[in-house]
Structure 1
């Protein structure tokens, strides 16, 4: 049997329950609340809880309680907490995508993908705390992958190369997104960007860090680069922009390799 011979229903049966639910393969519960409860409502309440209190606060019991039902009622719609987490991840990726750019603006297109991904981590700080279950297989997650592939579509690359570039950029976006999420959290708790970056400790580090003990770090400390001083004067932008531009430079160099 070829893939073309498999029906949508048979394909759904091959997926984890959470992924199948995200594709709309829903079996109506035979008992329990019907009109008052829905998968969308459950997922939305779980996201509200996670946005306010973190992913550790999300449990089937708490979601059910805040909806006014029992946990058993939720299990009739979503079989397990892992399935709920998968649905939450997919719902968080339901974001507006920018218009497609012309091919010569591929760098801008990939930059938009990275920044858009980072925004998901900032809007939903719990997102990165959900374990990675495997490759994206839910529709909104796949829509994000499709977005990342869009600027690469007409490039002289094979499919493995395209996906490897997407993996590289998504890994960078995840790392930066988690860092920016932590900065946001620190600031909300009363810290400042200067304290987080270490600028407030620059003078102390200049006294404490000696060239004999830290021969390679010492000149970086003294220049102010370690704590992000004088970034505008050096015309390099922030760390995120600098790193992303170097990745894009590498992709451009790879495209010109022949």
Structure 2
């Protein structure tokens, strides 16, 4: 496992071996990552293999192995390329809260374009420069707020977790509607038959239906996380 991590780190961060004299290589890591991404976007991560990527590029699998030693390293390259560098804050983003709102929405859009990245970026692993640029921007947005480095890191991870959870729910939903709306229908049917056992849930669902308050999990969760950070930042400022 350590050797695999070392190889992923080398491919993502370099240094890459200098090309020996002779014919120009037919492949490079960028082309390989792009080919894998095209397959994953169209068919899902499970359908990505060294053989499929090699065929997509018009080379043999053995030729591909000269650049990437295996699927784990290939997926790491693909994920970092698909995520791409985090854009700088817009001038209109405002303070830390506006910057983090913008950051979360941009991350959600990225996951929406490449849903398989959710699958490819779980667990302890070597992150590439593009992925780390997102963490850098979120942590930097909280500079000067009085939060410790650990708290700023935790805030970024918490926000990313919310983005991932909502994106995964949206991915699992059928084309007929949002995850919240579909869950509301399912729960509504259950409550009609068993509502007396769950009076609080029945009342909450009825209230949501009357007020049109469904489909707000993304915004509700985002704002509550930011409210909690605001309260913590305010408490820090009063104790300094």
TM-score by length of 2: 0.84
1:189-222 CA-partner distances (Å, limit 9, x unpaired): xx334895245567744532321x2233221233
CA distance in 2, matches of 1:194, 1:24: 41
Once the two structures are superposed, the pairs formed by residues 220-231 of structure 1 within 5 Å of their partners are: 220-223=204-207, 225=208, 229-231=209-211
Query: Is the alpha carbon distance of 1:200 and 1:166 closer, same or farther for their aligned partners in structure 2, counting shifts above 3 Å?
Result: closer
Distance 1:207 1:24 in 2: 60
2:191–2:198: 8 Å Cα contact kept in structure 1? no
Which residue number corresponds to residue 78 of structure 1? 68
Q: CA deviation at 1:157?
A: 1.8
Q: Which residue of 2 aligns with 1:118?
A: 108
Distance change in 2, residues 1:194/1:132 (3 Å): closer
Separation of aligned partners in 1, 2:185 and 2:13:
50
Could you tell me which of 185, 189, 210 is aligned with 2:195? Answer: 210
How far off is 1:32 after superposition?
Answer: 11
Higher RCO (C-alpha under 8 Å, 6+ residues apart): 2
Alpha-carbon distance change, 214 to 172 in structure 1, aligned in 2, over 3 angstroms: same
Q: Give the conservation status (yes or no) of the 8 Å contact 1:121–1:181.
A: no
Question: Could you tell me whether the CA contact under 8 Å between 2:33 and 2:78 is conserved in 1?
Answer: yes
Question: Is the Cα contact below 8 Å between 2:54 and 2:61 reproduced in 1?
Answer: yes
RMSD of equivalent CA atoms: 3.1
Question: Between Structure 1 and Structure 2, which shows a larger proportion of helix residues?
Answer: 2
The structure 1 residue matched to 2:159, chosen from 169, 172, 193, is: 169
Q: Which runs of 5+ in 2 are unaligned?
A: none
How does the TM-score come out when normalised to structure 1? 0.78
Q: Confirm or deny: 8 A CA contact 2:80 2:128 kept in the other structure.
A: yes
Superposed, 1:38-57 pairs within 5 Å as 38-57=28-47
CA contact (8 A) 2:178 2:215 kept: no
CA distance in 2, matches of 1:19, 1:133: 16
**Once the 2 structures are TM-superposed, how far is the Cα of residue 100 of structure 1 from its aligned partner?**
4.9
CA contact (8 A) 1:85 1:130 kept: yes
Segments of structure 1 that go 5 or more residues without pairing to the other structure are: 1-12
Equivalent in the alignment of 1:242: 220
**Counterpart in 2 of 1:6?**
none
Q: Is the 8 A contact 1:19 1:138 kept in 2?
A: yes
Q: Please tell me whether the aligned partners of residues 80 and 127 of structure 2 are also in contact (alpha carbons under 8 angstroms).
A: no
Q: Which moved more, 1:193-202 or 1:62-71?
A: 193-202
Question: Does structure 1 residue 148 correspond to structure 2 residue 132?
Answer: no
Q: CA separation of 1:103/1:159 partners in 2, compared to 1, >3 Å: closer, same or farther?
A: farther
CA distance in 2, matches of 1:115, 1:51: 20
- 2:147 matched residue in structure 1: 157
Task: Decide whether aligned partners of structure 1 residues 55 and 231 sit closer, same or farther in structure 2, where only a CA change above 3 A counts.
Answer: farther
How many residues are treated as equivalent by the alignment? 234
